[in-house]
Structure 1
Amino acid sequence: MKRNRWIYAAFTILIIGLGLGSRAFSYVLPDTLNTYLGDSLWAAMIFTGCGFLFQKMKTMKTGLISLSFCFFIEISQLYHAEWIDRIRDTSLGGLVLGYGFLWSDIEAYTIGIAACTVIELLILEIKKRLNM
């Protein structure tokens, strides 16, 4: 399988917009959705970004690498030194690195990556059946 970079780039940009929108309009969303949506979308963006970078990587491996990256970022939030907290105090640094460890973020990342993995596997199966 070879992923189309344009499609993965477009999905990455779309997901970034949805993620920023989920934060901007969080007041209209139910609390349960607010707990997971932004972080699930962030993880989905990591998956599509990984898919963009590694066109030929198998779906499950892409999912595992993406999930590992998300977990690493979340676990890194347990580390607080002046230099990294200054980075986290910037808008971009806060979006990328986060602020503090939360188990709900781990759950959200797992949901986001699992959803992307399942969607990609379903699309691959549909393509396979159509080509038969």
Structure 2
Amino acid sequence: MQVHLKEKQAREPTIALINVVFLMLVFFMIAGTLAPPLSNSVKLVETQDLEGREPPDALVIRADGVLEYRGTELINAEAYVERASIDLPLDAVRVVPDRSLPAIHLKEVSDALRALGASKIYVVTERGL
């Protein structure tokens, strides 16, 4: 006597794959329409040859760690507060570090400014597009 058993075929998860692809399609369609495209009539400003300059109220830290404010060398962060005639507590301080300044020096200056009461310290950097 011969018995024929049907072999079970493994089901392919095509329905699940189609659902995932469809959900991704809907997601990207919605995400792509959140920001409208820039009008073709607008021409963006080129800043390629623009001369960089620090903000006038910023504390500059040179690569050797020397502090400057409006072209004058300072001894420490307290001298910055005195020179700038800033009311205490400090509200927001802009710091322009040299590219070669070690991060530890930047942290020391920011810690000193925090100790003087600076609530916010902004590090001004070059932005490349």
Note whether the superposition's TM-score is higher than 0.5: no
Q: Given the two structures, how large is their TM-score scaled by the length of structure 2?
A: 0.27
The structure with the larger Rg is 2
Q: Name the structure with the higher strand share.
A: 2
